[in-house]
Homo-oligomer: A and B are copies of this chain.
Amino acid sequence: MNGSDEGAGHAARSKRADARRNEETLLDAAAAVFVTSGVEAPVRDIAAKAGVGMGTIYRHFPTRADLIIAVYRHQVEACAEAGPALLETSATPHAALGQWINLFVDFLVTKHGLAAVLQSDNAGFDTLHAYFLDRLVPVCTQLLDAAASSGEIRSDLDAYELMRGVGNLCIGAEHDSRYDARRLVELLIAGLRRPH
């Protein structure tokens, strides 16, 4: 919808070849650094890892959010697309919801510091926040609606709130062995069940 291709699909050539190469390099470097040092790693580290100067990184990715989005876009897309698929293949909508949330939690928990940054109120991360929300809330809404109309869950919680709650529960899960975000999220989903 934006970013890598220019839309009209013909004369999409505006970037110089070295620029595109550098963007690639930066994405790889950022991905690597994110794994080892988390998504809040110093910008200089990423630039160093990529072997480029500070200017280059800021030109390609004006905010850290842009970089994070670029690095994880594929996985977020995959998660978003898994929603409808799960709805079809799962026994019940509630099961689909549970599995999809699990997917999301796994994603967040394995990305060092991402959950924290997602909920950060720092301006500059709000485009990141917005991207995740835009992409995933509709999917979650669909699953939630399906589960609600099948009568399995209460319907007084909207997808936005659920997603934020799940995201929050994932914060800090990566370096605290006593804290299992998955379990708490399960509990939360269990709490959604309509009392019967």
A-side residues, CB < 8 A to B, are 116, 119-121, 157, 160-161, 164-165, 168-169, 171-172, 175-176, 178-180, 183-184, 186-192
Contact = CB atoms under 8 A, between A and B. Distances in A.
Contact of A184 (B121, B165, B172): B165
Contacts of A172: 119-121, 164, 168
A61 to B, nearest CB: 24
Contact of A191 (B160, B161, B190): B190
A184 B161 contact: yes
Given A165-B169, A187-B191, A190-B191, 17 more contacts: A116-B120, A119-B172, A157-B183, A157-B184, A161-B178, A165-B179, A165-B187, A168-B168, A168-B169, A168-B171, A171-B171, A187-B188, A187-B192, A188-B188, A188-B191, A191-B191, A191-B192
A157 B187 contact: yes
The 8 closest A-B pairs by CB, nearest first: A191-B191, A187-B191, A190-B191, A165-B184, A168-B168, A119-B172, A164-B179, A168-B171
26 contacts: A116-B119, A116-B120, A119-B171, A120-B172, A157-B184, A157-B187, A160-B178, A160-B179, A161-B179, A161-B180, A161-B183, A161-B184, A165-B184, A165-B187, A168-B168, A168-B171, A168-B172, A169-B169, A171-B171, A186-B191, A187-B188, A187-B191, A188-B191, A189-B191, A190-B191, A191-B192
